[in-house]
Amino acid sequence: MSTVVAFNPSHVLISSGRCTGGDDRHLIGRWVHMVDFVDEEGGVLHDYVGTDCAKADEAAVAWARDVGCRIIDRSSQEPDR
């Protein structure tokens, strides 16, 4: 007898980097954290973009809890200049 475990490829991705453009001119040039939900087919839904790491973490946990998926954290703190 074998056991089959369902694999849910959807996930929440936390990433970070320097903002180089976009609609919010106050973020340009700043270090931002981004939270994206990636569905089973690879579609991406952008949820949070901002400078607050804690808010990004909260958004990611909320998605993971609601959807029942894992979190992949690829974020980092702003490098020293």
The pLDDT assigned to 9 comes to 84
Average pLDDT score over residue span 63-80: 92
pTM as predicted: 0.83
| C-alpha gyration radius of the chain | 15
Measured between its terminal Cα atoms, the distance across the chain in Å is 58
The pLDDT assigned to 26 comes to 95
Quick one: residue 14, left, alpha or beta (phi over 0 = left, psi -120 to 50 = alpha)? Answer: beta
pLDDT at 7 over 90: no
pLDDT tens for 27-58 read 999 999 999 999 999 999 999 999 999 999 99
